[in-house]
Structure 1
Amino acid sequence: MRIDFGEPKPLDSLEGLRLHDPASYVEECRHDVWLALRRQRPVGVDEMPDGTRYWSFAGYADCDKIVKDTATYSSEEGTILASVGVGDSAGGQTITLMDPPDHGALRRPLMRTMRQSVVRRRADAVREKVLALIDPLLHGGEHDVARLMRLLPMVAAGDILGIPEKYWETIAFNTTASIAPEDPEYAVGRNVGDTLRRVHHQLFACFTDAIETRRRDPGDDVVSALLGLEIDGRPLEDRRVMLNCYSVALGANSTTPHVACHTLLALAQRPDIWRTVVENPSVIPALVEEGARWTSPTHHLIRRVTTDVELSGAQMAKGDWVCAWVASANRDEQVFDGPYDFDLGRSPNPHLGFGAGAHYCIGAPASRFALSVIFEALALRRVRFEVTGEIRHLYSNWINGITSMPMRFTPGAVTA
């Protein structure tokens, strides 16, 4: 989705709104829609194409409540709009599709492999890999940054996940294809169903081999942690280990590369901000946080109500579907001053770009570190960058992705 600077003009009417339509996120900036929702209809009911209704919440306070209150708003039947009305076949099986307290039995051992201390311990090795990935940018010339950044999550966390490097490219491509099978960049089959069959076959072949490798030679990684985990006194079946590998890899590959691309694009559009970073690299942690808020890599998160409940005047019944528009929440004027500005001085910055509560992204430390390495390296070499061609956006109502972004990089070109 295109992201514009400055407050948008809100829609005059919300009649016929099609929030579920992925095509509307390809070329337009949808912050006009979310601004209109927050002002005119912060709580409402929308419909999927099959007529299934769901509640839409556009304000920060409500979205934050929905995401954090796992007892009332369950993740077990699906977390994206595609699940509304049909559920998710992996419900109750993976870390993203489970609720506490069962969710904690999976999350705790995985957190031990991906927490901040682990990222610090692996920092030198990860930095070396990230720098090798972006080496073409540091040496200048024209490059498609979106295609290059596609590999960033695996470079940052592939070893932590326990996935052999030979599979990183395959997993990076196919996880995105699995959630955007209609996008021209990822449509590898004759139709959507064929694309999904092909990409899932390749993904699970990779995960199967990773499981067998780690079973023979366990390490300090996610796959090994899953293989060593027992729930109710029984080890996880290989199928469930594979589903959780897929879940964690999908989370990484659907967020980090797009935060990198959208942040680079914002800096290219506002070179004064980038000049500030070059002159004062100590602001890079703030840059990464503001980049995550600015991008809002997930447009929405879906939950299902577990009991009759009232929220902001909405009387919801057990079983109702609920959509928290986190991209809207991250522009809420009640929480963020100047929400349509890219502000390096924003503090506090309680964005929901990495989620919140029990489902806060376990890969956030690795993502922050990898993003920081990129901007530190570009700033150190005073690299100027500018867009040189058409930017193409991901065909998805869930992920705010960029599939192609040609840019020219010129080392030593940022002057004081």
Structure 2
Amino acid sequence: MAIPEQIARDIVDPKAYADWKRSHDAFAWLRKNAPLDVAQLDGFDPFWVVTRHADILNVERQNDLFHNEDRSATLTNIETDKKVREMMGGSPNLLRSLVQMDNPDHMQYRRLTQAWFMPQNLRKLEDRIREIARGFIDKMAAKGTECDFARDVAFLYPLHVIMEVLGVPEIDEPRMLKLTQELFGAQDPEVNRSGKEVSDTDTGLANIQATVADFFSYFVEMTEDRRRNPRDDVASVIANGAVYGQPLGHLEAMSYYIIAATAGHDTTSNTTAGALWALAENQDQFRKLKDDLSLIPSMVEESIRWETPVKHFMRTATADTEVAGKQIKKNDWLFLAYPSGNRDEDVFEDPYSFKIDRSPNKHVAFGYGAHVCLGQHLARMEMRVLWEELLPRLKSVELNGTPTRVQANFVSGPKSVPIRFQMS
């Protein structure tokens, strides 16, 4: 059977992710009644919705059978797809980053910066990251007893870290934050480029194009600078890198910068904001964590599962195959529903409870297999360090108003988390 229309709408509607309960209810219904089935909606090509943890892993581990690049790597409607292909000479993707690549290109491009993001290299950065974290906690303390944790801390701290790793000067960080929010929040009138509801393809696409063009112009300048004056930063690696013995193409280089600059902080910001929101709502968990700071690493894992900032990626079948007893045809499109996988009752006991000591916690928030998130170790380190510095000083915390979420069906999380707190 095809997925009921209202359930399918709740999967694609950005507002359902701002509501959170709506999207989670839809996924829960699917796991129970139609764990792998086809969504058919006006304006969209039909697509399979993969909701179970095991099936997501099954698709993710078979990179030759399920491609990222053949069709759009994110859910897009027919009209947008057509326009993007016209603009991009047949390609369904506006960018060509690691996310939109398959092997052998994916492996070659990933190798360029992989060493930068490995734990042994990141250990050298830990002292500096701790210094940055302390700076933001001091600013939070200076606000007295109230702040918006999302806007005042969670958005800015990971941004500062990744911009330093990338090599973007601090003065340009507000610009990078704004462009990132415009890109990922293109469906949200409060953060998108136009500042209004986007009801038609032309406006939505024009907003994203303008944002991407701004990123390109910034990073073209940076590339020229790093070619003249290479430094010990990721921008210099991209600017001077070679793949197959040739410098990176313009689209590939610009896309590399954008994925590093945006995914490098937004997902961590979402998780950090979501973690404090969850702790404020679950005082027993907050007290448990305060009493035993050795639980911080497992709390970080639980907050990643809980928030799951990347809501989906799309894959395209390269041949007829079978997943969970269903016949998938060549060129079929699959929607990997990560928030659903991370609430799968067969894998997670009591999945709708925030448990800081959850173990095991085999969440799929970073993806799996060849496309597993390149920055996962940096993200974990940033969050661990922030909580190690904040929790000993944070005596109490509670919500001070109603938190809100971004309207977006690709990458999203809290928009505002107003809190009342006491620091020691």
TM-score (ref. length: structure 2) = 0.88
Q: How does 1:82-231 map to 2 (within 5 A)?
A: 82=76, 86=81, 89-90=92-93, 93-139=96-142, 140-148=144-152, 149-189=154-194, 191-231=203-243
1:387 counterpart letter in structure 2: L
Distance 1:151 1:220, change over 3 A: same
Distance in 1, Cα, partners of 2:404 & 2:305: 21
CA distance in structure 2 between the partners assigned to 1:216 and 1:92 by the alignment: 26
Q: How does 1:246-257 map to 2 (within 5 A)?
A: 246-257=258-269
Which region of structure 1 is more displaced relative to structure 2, 177-186 or 56-65? 177-186
Of residues 241-250 and 316-325 in structure 1, the stretch that sits farther from structure 2 once superposed is 241-250
Residue 74 (structure 2) pairs with residue 80 (structure 1): yes
2:119 & 2:339 partners in 1: Cα distance?
26
> What stretches of structure 2 of length at least 5 have no aligned partner?
86-90, 196-202
Cα deviation 1:59-115 (Å, max 9, x = unaligned): 100011112211111111332212778276547832111112221111112111121
Q: Which moved more, 1:245-254 or 1:275-284?
A: 245-254
Q: Percent identity?
A: 31
Q: Cα distance 1:71–1:176, how it changes in 2: closer, same or farther (>3 A)?
A: same
Match of 2:200 in 1: none
8 A contact 1:163–1:207 mirrored in 2: no
1:47 aligns with 2:37: no
Pair 1:26 & 2:29 matched: no
Counterpart CA distance in 1 for 2:193 and 2:242 is 37
Give 1 or 2: higher helix fraction. 2
Deviations 1:371-402 (A, max 9, x none): 11221122111332211123221111122311
* Residue 243 of structure 1 pairs with residue 255 of structure 2: yes
Secondary structure of the equivalent of 1:16? helix
How many angstroms apart in 2 are the aligned matches of 1:212 and 1:135? 37
Partner in structure 2 of residue 8 of structure 1: none
CA distance in 1 between counterparts of 2:226 and 2:259 reads 18
Gaps of 5+ in 1: 1-12
Task: Report if the CA contact (8 A) 1:293-1:351 is conserved.
Answer: yes
Q: 1:211 to 1:177 in 2, by over 3 A?
A: same
- Aligned AA for 1:106? Y
How far off its partner does 1:206 sit?
2.3
Deviates more, 1:57-66 or 1:179-188: 179-188
The SS at the match of 2:72 is coil
CA distance in 1, matches of 2:77, 2:99: 13
Contact 1:229 1:236 in 2 (8 A): yes
1:249 deviates by: 2.1
Q: 8 Å contact 1:181–1:195 — kept in the other structure? A: yes
Do the aligned partners of residues 84 and 402 (structure 1) sit closer, same or farther apart at CA in structure 2, a change above 3 Å counting?
farther
Which residue of structure 2 lines up, in the alignment, with residue 9 of structure 1? none
How far residue 178 of structure 1 moved from its aligned partner, in angstroms, is: 1.2
1:291 matched to 2:303? The reply is yes
Structure 1 match to 2:199: none
Q: How many residues of Structure 1 are paired with residues of Structure 2 in the alignment?
A: 400
C-alpha distance in structure 1 between counterparts of 2:413 and 2:218, whole Å: 24
- Asked whether the equivalents of residues 113 and 220 of structure 1 are also in contact (C-alpha less than 8 Å), the reply is no
1:66 aligns with 2:59: yes
> Partner letter of residue 143 of structure 1?
C
Distance 1:69 1:176, change over 3 A: farther
Q: Do the aligned partners of residues 283 and 199 (structure 1) sit closer, same or farther apart at CA in structure 2, a change above 3 Å counting?
A: same
219-228 vs 29-38, which moves further: 219-228
- Taking a change above 3 Å as real, the CA distance of residues 100 and 194 of structure 1, as seen in their structure-2 partners, is closer
Alignment RMSD, CA only? Answer: 2.1
1:366-381 equivalences in 2 (<5 Å): 366-381=378-393
Other-structure match for 2:352: 340
What stretches of structure 1 move > 4 A for 4+ residues in a row? 87-92
Deviations 1:179-204 (A, max 9, x none): 22231331332753453344223322
| Aligned-partner SS, 1:118 | helix
Partner AA of 2:349 in structure 1 = D
Distance 1:321 1:297 in 2: 21
Contact 1:176–1:253 under 8 Å retained in 2: no
- Correspondence 1:16 to 2:6: yes
* CA distance in 2 between partners of 1:152 and 1:38 (Å): 36
Q: 1:15: how far off? A: 4.8
CA distance in structure 2 between the aligned counterparts of 1:237 and 1:32, rounded to whole angstroms: 43
2:96–2:251 Cα contact (<8 Å) kept: no
Q: Does 1:265 align with 2:277?
A: yes
Cα distance in 2 for partners of 1:280, 1:28 equals: 30
Aligned-residue offset at 1:128: 1.1
Q: How does 1:336-415 map to 2 (within 5 A)?
A: 336-412=348-424
Asked whether the 8 Å contact 2:216–2:254 carries over to 1, the reply is yes
Deviation, 1:234, is: 1.3
Instruction: Quickly say closer, same or farther: Cα 1:233–1:84, change in 2 above 3 A.
Output: farther
